[in-house]
Amino acid sequence: MSSKKIGILGASGYTGADAVRLLARHPNAEIVALTANTHAGKSMGDVFPHFFMLDLPKLVEWEKVDWSKLDAVFCGLPHGTTQEIIAAVLEANPKIKVLDMSADFRLRDKNTYAQWYGHEHRALELQGEAVYGLTEFYREKIASARLVACPGCYPTAALLALVPLAKAKLIDVDDLVIDAKSGVTGAGRGLKQSTLFSEVGEGLSPYSVGTHRHAPEIEQEIGVAAGHAVTVNFTPHLIPMARGELCTSYVKLNGATPDDLRTALEKAYGNEPFVRVANKGVMPQTQNVRGSNYVQIGVFPDRIKNRAIVISVLDNLVKGSAGQAIQNMNLMFGFPETAGLEQIALFP
């Protein structure tokens, strides 16, 4: 298969950089444009020294890219800045494939978006066009899409664990508690006091308690699976490591057993290339998936009657962001879905 010409918006952020890392070894991708307005003129090796061995384009302002010559663009810009830029890119090249790793097109309802993000959506037509990019559940729609809204890291971990159970009506979707913990890269690369080493090291801290913007995204997709609107209790935490995410979901059973949940997950993911259901009694761990596009899910009985605990782990920068975006790109171009993504986890 011929290579596709790829651009990456926001290549100096963590998600953009991981997209570079993975696409640089993709058999069907050629990186031809990298943007980062604050680092324009620099090489990727200047911004991220671990890229010193790669021959990559210089970073430029996004306005200086000739988008008409590209086949696909990955967007790793912060939410709120993406809508108008993607609209401009699509105006310049209506045939380009867009993989948006920001939050700007994930929520389908314009009022929900405005409520959680504090401003009206500025590209409503594209919001209606965007396909939610959770690969395992929207594969056919993604394959024919022009604009894919790649899920957030927390929603990916939670939804892969819970959606099959909600669809099978094995759990009470009106009684869900989701406790999630992420490495500090999940908070982005911008300089903030809360993510300084001395603030994060040797500690564990919740953040955005009751107000995290991934909550409505989780509710949206579990609601689709359940067939009615739901509300979840979701609390994220930062843990003192760079990458990795562990999501613990506490569920009430609808006349089912933990073994029934495991069986449903095994059925849902038996043919999936990147989702693995752990054997009974095996604890999912972030080290099992670090640096890879894999997800590991485990099911455990709770000591409380009629309840169970579902644990899922992923790398927040790979399956939780750039890796899933590349998985979706593969579908959009008809490449093997696993192309460029079969890295084994880094251990230790």
pLDDT digits (tens, 9 = 90+) for 56-101: 999 999 999 999 999 999 999 988 889 999 999 999 999 999 999 9
Candidates 77, 88, 79; CA nearest to 118 is: 79
Q: Residues 283-297: pLDDT tens digits?
A: 999 999 999 999 999
Helix 135-143 / helix 153-167 crossing angle, nearest 10 deg = 100
CA distances from 115 to 26, 44, 118, 148 (A): 39, 37, 6, 22
Candidates 74, 50, 14; CA nearest to 340 is: 74
- Judged by DSSP in three states, 8 sits in strand
What's the pLDDT band for 113 if we cut at 50, 70, 90? very high
Q: Is the pLDDT of residue 139 over 70?
A: yes
Q: What pLDDT score was predicted for residue 341? A: 99
What's the mean pLDDT when you consider all of the chain?
96
- Judged by DSSP in three states, 61 sits in coil
Higher local confidence (pLDDT), 195 or 147:
147
What's the pLDDT band for 2 if we cut at 50, 70, 90? confident
Q: Give me the domains of the chain, ranges plus CATH numbers.
A: 4-129 (3.40.50.720), 154-316 (3.30.360.10)
Q: What pLDDT score was predicted for residue 185? A: 82
Name the token pair of 179: 């406790």
Name the token pair of 5: 């010409």
* Burial per residue of 305-326, b for 16 or more beta-carbon CB atoms within 10 angstroms, e otherwise: eebbbbbbbbbbbbbbbbbbbb
| Contact between residue 130 and residue 149 where contact means Cβ atoms under 8 Å apart | yes
The CA distance from 63 to 59, in Å, is 12
CA 92 vs. chain centroid, Å, equals 27
Q: What pLDDT score was predicted for residue 56? A: 97
| Percent of the chain residues past pLDDT 90, beyond the cut | 91
Average pLDDT of 319-326? Answer: 99
Q: Which residue has the tokens 């604050």?
A: 38
Element (H, E) at 116: helix 110-117
Prior bond of 348 cis (ω within 30°): yes
Its sign, for the CA torsion 220, 225, 229, 232, is negative
Q: What pLDDT score was predicted for residue 202? A: 84
CA distances from 318 to 46, 158, 245, 323, 346 (A): 22, 15, 11, 4, 12
- Judged by DSSP in three states, 334 sits in coil
Name the token pair of 97: 């494939």
**Range of weakest confidence among 101-110, 132-141, 194-203, 294-303:** 194-203
Q: Is the pLDDT of residue 195 over 90?
A: no
Name the token pair of 168: 């099978």
Q: Residues 212-260: pLDDT tens digits?
A: 999 999 999 999 999 999 999 999 999 999 999 999 999 999 999 999 9
CA 162 vs. chain centroid, Å, equals 16
- Helix, strand, coil distribution of the chain in percent, nearest 5: 35, 20, 40
The pairing of strands 307-314 and 295-301 is antiparallel
Q: What pLDDT score was predicted for residue 79? A: 87
> Residue 260: how many CA atoms within 13 Å on its side-chain side?
15
Q: What pLDDT score was predicted for residue 191? A: 62
What's the pLDDT band for 193 if we cut at 50, 70, 90? confident
Q: What pLDDT score was predicted for residue 200? A: 80
- State the virtual CA torsion across 52, 74, 6, 30 in degrees, nearest 10: 40
Name the token pair of 189: 């690369």
Its sign, for the CA torsion 318, 124, 72, 27, is positive
Q: What pLDDT score was predicted for residue 116? A: 96
Higher local confidence (pLDDT), 202 or 228:
228
The CA distance from 290 to 170, in Å, is 30
Active site residues: 153
Q: Which residues contact 33 (CB under 8 A, 6 or more apart)?
A: 6, 7, 8, 57, 60, 65, 70, 73
